[in-house]
Amino acid sequence: MWLWGCNLALLIGGVVNAELARARRLAAGLPAEDDQMTPPIDTRRSTAFSAQRRNLVLEGRRHRLNGRR
């Protein structure tokens, strides 16, 4: 039960934090409708994942094209 409560508290805290950031952006006259509110802290993993996925797609395409010959 305590684990559920902790998870709920973290979720509510995240939502409140996001809404406060959105309210600050609106108060400053910045657009806050649909864009990401705060910049990501670290993009190394997402950049590495994108590069890995791109390499896998290229490798799959190579295999597909070589298999036709």
Position 69 confidence tier, pLDDT thresholds 50, 70, 90: low
**C-alpha 55: how far from its chain's center?**
21
- Say if CB 38 and CB 25 are below 8 A apart: no
Per-residue model confidence (pLDDT) at position 41: 81
CA atoms in the 13 A half-sphere facing the CB of 54: 6
The two three-digit tokens of residue 13, written as one number: 């805290």
pLDDT tens for 5-64 read 999 999 999 999 988 988 888 888 877 666 665 677 888 888 899 999 999 999 998 888
Per-residue model confidence (pLDDT) at position 57: 93
Amino acid (1-letter code) at residue 64? R
